[in-house]
Every structure is written in structure tokens, then in C-alpha cells.
Chains A and B, each alone.
Chain A
Amino acid sequence: MIVGRRPESVAIPALPGEVERRRLANGLEVCLLRNRQAPIVSTALFYRAGCRDEAPGRAGVAHFLEHMMFKGSARYGPGEVDRRTQELGGTNNAFTSHDVTAYWFAFAADRWSEALAIEADRMRGLRLDPREVDAERQVILEEIDMYRDDPWEALELDVVAALFAGHPYGRPILGTADELRASGRDELADFHRRSYRADNAVLVVAGDLDETAAARVEEALGGLPAGDGERRAECPPPRCPERPTRVERRQGEVARLLVALPAPAADEPDHAELQLAAALLAEGRSSRLQRELVEVGQLCLGISATVSEHEIAAYFGVAAELLPSTDPGDVERRLLAALSELGTPAGEDELERARQVLRTDWVHEHERIHQQAVAAGVALTQFDLEQPGRVLRRVEEASAEEVAAAARRWLDPEGGIVVGACLPEGRRQSVA
């Protein structure tokens, strides 16, 4: 049964196409995003369950379960989801974040319904065969090793752990080897029962949809139970450091710096202003740090600045990969000075360049149907469907003084900043 006789049908400026939203009787939120730019349909099923929902001592269970969703359910044996996807010429994947876990498929428009059957089957009938659990744990332990070998991945884990110390956002998504070894079928089944239920999920179906799409969703997923009990516990905001913190590791051939500061979540005031600040700082070859550290200064291979999109709190990050001959302390001082300078209003001309870079980025990052499905899923699960549009509007409207004021509030190099350095193993001096 479909709740609401007249589905809401609107166009949202941030994503192309027309949106139709429904809520099934079992609580599943459904968003159909009609966009006929290509004969493709992408589905994205989001669960409001991520690392932050893991029990103490069970870090990594959310991601472990994501793996197990491909290892056998009532109608799809181990590996069958991938085999069926391949037979149909599609593609699939999944991701776990601190806030959500999502599963997506993309198929040609004439064969996408199988994705719904798969999602229904593994929401209702996940097997969690103990032999498969043990085998997959080994695979994840290899995955942990793989990420630990990557200097950027390892540095980011250290920095985020320091910034969000004591909070679930500080946990590694893959968990730790010890906690993974302590987690088995029971923990996975418990997480699945609590979180993988229709009334805790959002389904986005995007692309070249015909008029039968809503009925197909209803037929495949409308019969699932809603689930019972509490869905997810409240998660308080993190308490970030109040003073500068340093983390340092030795790995690799070139030095890498990652500076992170607490930032407002994507639906809070100042988030869009900080996106503009990031663009002023390091988006495009004309940006401040690209010129100072890469194109003119020739001290770094590359530099980037981003604002994360966590649900409860975000972070503003600046990352620099240094040339082998560069002094990391010099780059760090320049990064911190550039953060301070953001507190002074930019010229309108410079700010307009930053706005245009962000507009262009948004278009490029949401060109594909699958990207549109995931963006809608993230917005609906963590915020609301209008959130991307609000951020884009604020990017257009924020003045130079407002951007500078946000930078003064959030980007204080003397405040709760975490400076992470990954130095070459042979280098003995510390930075700064």
C-alpha cells in the first residue's frame, strides 16, 4: 500500500529531472528521480546505520555487514548478487560511512528491477553463514592492511581520530583487527536486525524510468516488515580539541600534510561559507594555495581543501603533498597563515571565481545517473532533499564578509586544529 494518494512531484534545482516521493506502508522512503539523459537506471538503497551505530568494542561491524550483504541471502547464494549483476550487464557496489551504509546498482533501463528483488531478499533473508563470515573477516583484514599501506589513508585515519577523539566519528570505518576478530555472526545479525529494516531505509531510483517504476518498487519492497524496537540511538556531537594538536607518522618517500579543523554539518549555518573558503584556498590553479605552494612557489605536488559532509559535525581539511626537496615546516607555516588570511574578506572578483568553481564542480560531480542517485540518497538520509539546493543557494548569496566571518569562527589556527604530518621514513627532523 502506498501512503499518500498524491505523490509529491517537484523539480529540485540541485539535481536534474523530476522527483516523486512516497512512503510505503512499512515506512520505506522512496524517491523516484526521473531523468531521461541516458537509457540507464540506478538504484541506491540507504540505511540509516553506519559506524556511529556500532556497539562499544565492535568497531567495523557496519562495514563487515556491508561485505556480508554480498555473501548469501535466501534467494541469492554467496557471490550470486555479483553474478546476476554481471549477467544483466550492470554494475554494483556499496559503501559504509560513519552515518549510513548504502548499496547501489546501475543497469540499462530495460532490466533494472532485479536490483529491487536483490535488496528485498537481503533485507529480509540475509544468511550470515558462519563459514562465509570467517572467510570475509580475512578479506577485511587484508583490506585494513591495504589501506594502512597508503600514506594518505593512514594519515587521514590518524588526523580524524585526533579531531573526533572519543566520538564514533573518530573510529576507523573498517574497524580494528582485534575488534573484528571479536565480532562474528551474532554481532552482525544483531546489527542487521536493528538497522536493516524498511522503516530505517531510503530507496532512490534514478534515471530513465517509465510509469511502472513506483508499482515495481511497491511490489518488490512493500511487503517487507517495518521492523520493531528502537532504530538508532541519539548520537551527541563530538567534543573536538580546544587547542592545537599534532599527529605525526613516518611513512613513504615524500612528505604529506593534512590539517583539519571542526566545521559545521552540511545543513548548518556557515557550511556553505566554508565551502567557499575552501575554494578560495585551493580549488583551481588560480586559488591562493595552488599559486603559492604549487604553480608559483613550486613547493608542493598538489594541494586540496574540502569540507566533509558528516551528518552531525564536519571537518575542514587542507591536504598538501610536498616535493621531495621541500621543508614541511615551511609549508605548514604557509598553510596556517593562509587559514588566518581567510578571516579578511576576499575581493568580490576572487569570490566570484570561487563561486563559479563550486558551480562547475557540482555539475561535474552529478553528471551521471548513479551520482545523482547517491546524492539524493545522502541528502534524504542525513538531511532532506532540499539540502543540496540550500547549500548551492547560499554559495550564490554569501558575501565576502560573511565568508570571512565564518572563517574567523571556525578556521582559527590557534584553536582546535589538528595538524597531521606524514614524513618520509628517512627524515629525522620534526615539522615546524
Chain B
Amino acid sequence: MIVDAAARSAFVARRMPGAPVVALRLVLPGGSRREAIPGQALVTGRMLAEGTAEHDWHALADLAERRGMSVAGWASLEAHGVAIDALGSEWERALELAAELAFASEFPADRLEWTARHAAAELTAQEDQADLMTARAFAEQLWAPNPKGRPLQGDAESLARLGREECRNFHAAALRRGGWLIVAGEIDESAVAVAAERCFPRLAPAADDGFSPAPPPPRAAGRREVRTRARDQAHLLVGQRTVDRRHPDYEALELAAVALGAGAGLTGRIPNRVRDREGLAYVASADLVAGAGLDAGRLTAYVGTGPKNLAQAERAIREELARFVAEGISERELANARSYLLGREPFRRETARQWADLAAHSLVVGLPLTDAAWRRDRLAAVDRGAGDAALRRHIELDALAVTTGLPTVD
């Protein structure tokens, strides 16, 4: 089955024989890139499971647990919606429940207050994760004021400003734009289609309205240092913005990323150098298109190491990046990377949940990502020349941003 945003239907059903779980995803194009108040998309998404005209939060939770369902309202940069994973026999009840959450959510004030307070507390608890704090600062360095530069939760002050109307209106606006309903599992596709039409009679497929969030700043070299609550480890991130998922160079950079350190285990130039040859870290990785979607992904080289090793680790990363851009990707690296990415394809759709999530991403970015032949052709079309040219176009060695997270000094 080919899924892309040009599909005329808002419904996508995929039969997966033997799958024990039916995965349902309602995807509405209203993520944090469209929010007026930071945290609005996440709180709106979560509020979908907090009470409807028919059921309060507890009744919803109880109903789900008794029927073996996991029910969640969610949000990402690009969308918010409902995710339900149900045991196979419950697919129709899951559809009805998703419709109730989408169309009859009440956004009760007391639950909204708690949901916002919970999100604020998550931000506080995350301060104990040194790698996450460093990544937050890195994202801000690369993107702010673009929404990619802040946590999905926003911040404590913005969360306190969110009221029922802000969430209700945000959700209603997303529904007006249309959306998609994806159901995957051991299902009868035609029966699901009939039930989907019954439960979601007003849902039209979302169309690209050309919306753009606040632009990020120009790429520039920069250095940021944050103090984390770690006692021992420092965290180092080096990188810059690269391309979005629809960019013609995406696959070339994706293949190059595998050669750099985004592949299996501890392979790739940067893990080899930092971990295997210099023994500097337990974790070392690198990517060139991390987080690419409607907005740009990023080159990210990451090392978690002792503070005394930071300078050596940064030097190693810079040298490996420079060597990679100068030498380009080798024939062997390219062949291995292609083989790796093609070999990964069955794992991206092994379960109904994975397939549904892949289909959701596919619809959001408007590419047929669930189509194995399309994917194979795109990867096959990249030769060394294309890979090297993409590296030189998108990696600016003199415009690398560096963020270090240093342990607390007693």
C-alpha cells in the first residue's frame, strides 16, 4: 500500500496478518510549529484523553484498561492527535473511542490545570538528565525562535497561560484543516473503511496550506556552555541545521550519516575515532539529518565523556568531519550504508504500531515512506558524486555550533 499526502482519502487501513495489536493513529496537522503559546500543542494533544461530553478522564482510562487498550493524546512538532493500541478484537471500539476524543473532548478546566502543571514538572525533572539539558541548549542554539528550538512542553510561564479556549481553539483549527486516520493490524480493511466513514464523517484529508513557522537564525559558528546536574560526565554536541525530509539531498545525507555514525552498533567514523581508537566515551554517535521533517534536520555529533576529555573529543569530531567533507564517502561506505538502510526497512514496519507511525510520518511530510520500492529507488539513485556534493553543500565546517554540558562543580 502506498501512503502519501496526495491520497484522496483521509483513511488508511493496512491489514497485517498475525499482528496481535491493532494500531490506530489520528493525525491532525496542528503541532508545536503552529502554536501561539509554547506548550499549546502538547497540552492540547494530551487533553484529548482528559474528558469528553460522555466520559470523564477516569471513565476513559477505566474503559481503555478493561478492554486492553492503550489510549493517549499526543503532539509532535507537526501534528497532534490520538494514538490507540488495542487488542485485535477491539478495533471497532477503538475507532469509536478515537472519534469521541476527536470530536467531543471537553477540555475540562481542572484537568487542564493538572496537565499543564504536570508538563511543567516534567521540565523540572528533565533538569536531572544532563544529556537532555545539553540537547535542549543545543536545539535552542540552532533554531530559536523557531519552535524546534524549545521543548514541546514550552516553559513554566507559557504553560501557566494556557486556558481551555486556547486548547479548544487550537484543536478546532487543526480539525478544520483536515487530517488522517490510520488503522493497521489484523483487520478487514473494507470493514474498517466502513466504520471509519461512520465514525469520522467530517474528516477530510489535510492539504498543505504552506504554513511556515518563525524562521531559525542564520547558520553561524557559536559556542554555548551549560551547567548540568551531572556529577561526573560532560556532554558535547557539535552540529548545524541541514535539510528537511523532502529535500532532494535527504537520501544522500542519510547515507553519509550511516558512514559518519548513525548506523548499527558502534560503527561509523566518529564512534570509531572517539570510542574505539581514543577510548574517550561509552556513547558516541553522529547523524546528518536527525529530526528532519517539514522543517530541517540537523548534523549532530554527540559524545558523553569526562570533562577532561572534552577538548580532545571536540578536536576529534572536527577533524573527522573535515576529513569526511574533503575525502567524501568511499564506495565501500556508500554500499554498506545503502545495504544497511535497505536492510532496516522490514524493522520499520515489523509491527502494526510501527507501520502506523511510519504511515503517519509519511502523510505529514507528503512522501510515500511506506512504499518499499520508492525507498529502494531513492537510495539507489545516490552515487558517490551525489553524496560528496551533498556533503559539501550542507556541511559548513566554519559554521559549526558547539554546546557543552558540564557537570556541577561542588
Would A353 and B258 count as touching, CB distance under 8 A?
no
**Could you say which of A36, A93, A150, A356 contacts B265, with CB atoms under 8 Å apart?**
A93
Question: How many residues in B have their beta carbons less than 8 Å from beta carbons of A?
Answer: 66
Would A254 and B282 count as touching, CB distance under 8 A?
no
For B305, what are the chain A residues with a Cβ–Cβ distance below 8 Å?
142
Q: Is B197 an interface residue (CB 8 A)?
A: no
> From DSSP, what is the main secondary structure of chain A's interface residues?
mixed
- How far is A138 from B282 in the complex, measured between Cα atoms in Å? 9
Q: Is B350 an interface residue (CB 8 A)?
A: yes
For B19, what are the chain A residues with a Cβ–Cβ distance below 8 Å?
37, 367
- How far is A280 from B17 in the complex, measured between Cα atoms in Å? 33
Evaluate whether A86 and B124 lie within 8 angstroms (CB atoms) in the complex, with A142-B233, A356-B66, A367-B351 already known: no
Evaluate whether A86 and B127 lie within 8 angstroms (CB atoms) in the complex, with A301-B122, A360-B68 already known: no
For A39, what are the chain B residues with a Cβ–Cβ distance below 8 Å?
346
Question: Which one of B117, B121, B351 has the greatest number of beta carbons of chain A within 10 Å?
Answer: B121
Would B275 and A139 count as touching, CB distance under 8 A?
yes
B105-142 to A contact mask, C-beta < 8 Å, 1/0: 00000000010011001101101111000000000000
- How far is A252 from B282 in the complex, measured between Cα atoms in Å? 22
Nearest chain A residue, comparing its CB with the CB of B349? A38
Nearest chain B residue, comparing its CB with the CB of A37? B18
Would A353 and B66 count as touching, CB distance under 8 A?
yes
- How far is A26 from B129 in the complex, measured between Cα atoms in Å? 47
Q: Is A286 an interface residue (CB 8 A)?
A: yes
Q: Is B146 an interface residue (CB 8 A)?
A: no
Q: Is B264 an interface residue (CB 8 A)?
A: yes
Would A301 and B65 count as touching, CB distance under 8 A?
no
For B340, what are the chain A residues with a Cβ–Cβ distance below 8 Å?
86-89
For B279, what are the chain A residues with a Cβ–Cβ distance below 8 Å?
134-136, 138-139
Q: Is A364 an interface residue (CB 8 A)?
A: yes
Would A86 and B65 count as touching, CB distance under 8 A?
no
For B125, what are the chain A residues with a Cβ–Cβ distance below 8 Å?
253-254, 301, 321
Would B276 and A254 count as touching, CB distance under 8 A?
no
Q: Is B383 an interface residue (CB 8 A)?
A: no
- How far is A108 from B346 in the complex, measured between Cα atoms in Å? 7
Would B264 and A91 count as touching, CB distance under 8 A?
yes
Q: Is A3 an interface residue (CB 8 A)?
A: no
Q: Is A140 an interface residue (CB 8 A)?
A: yes
Would B280 and A142 count as touching, CB distance under 8 A?
yes
Q: Is B58 an interface residue (CB 8 A)?
A: yes
* A289, chain B: closest CB distance, angstroms: 14
For A323, what are the chain B residues with a Cβ–Cβ distance below 8 Å?
117, 121
Q: Is B38 an interface residue (CB 8 A)?
A: no
- How far is A402 from B265 in the complex, measured between Cα atoms in Å? 46
For B306, what are the chain A residues with a Cβ–Cβ distance below 8 Å?
142, 145
Would B339 and A298 count as touching, CB distance under 8 A?
no
Q: Is A70 an interface residue (CB 8 A)?
A: yes
Would A83 and B267 count as touching, CB distance under 8 A?
yes
Q: Is A143 an interface residue (CB 8 A)?
A: yes
- How far is A285 from B125 in the complex, measured between Cα atoms in Å? 20
Q: Is B103 an interface residue (CB 8 A)?
A: no
Can you give 8 contacting A-B residue pairs, CB < 8 Å?
Answer: A38-B351, A89-B344, A139-B279, A142-B304, A148-B231, A285-B57, A359-B68, A364-B70
7 A-B pairs besides A91-B265, A251-B231 with CB distance below 8 A are: A87-B336, A91-B347, A93-B265, A142-B305, A301-B125, A324-B124, A364-B70
**CB within 8 Å of A: which residues of B?**
16-21, 57-58, 61-62, 65-70, 85, 87, 114, 117-118, 121-122, 124-125, 127-130, 229-233, 258, 263-267, 272, 275-276, 279-283, 304-306, 336, 339-347, 349-351, 353, 407
8 smallest CB-CB distances across A and B, nearest first, come from A89-B343, A82-B265, A145-B232, A285-B61, A252-B128, A143-B282, A86-B264, A138-B279
**CB within 8 Å of B: which residues of A?**
16, 35-40, 70, 78-79, 81-83, 85-93, 106-109, 111, 134-136, 138-140, 142-143, 145-146, 148-151, 251-254, 284-286, 291, 295, 298, 301, 321, 323-324, 352-353, 356-357, 359-360, 363-364, 367-369, 425
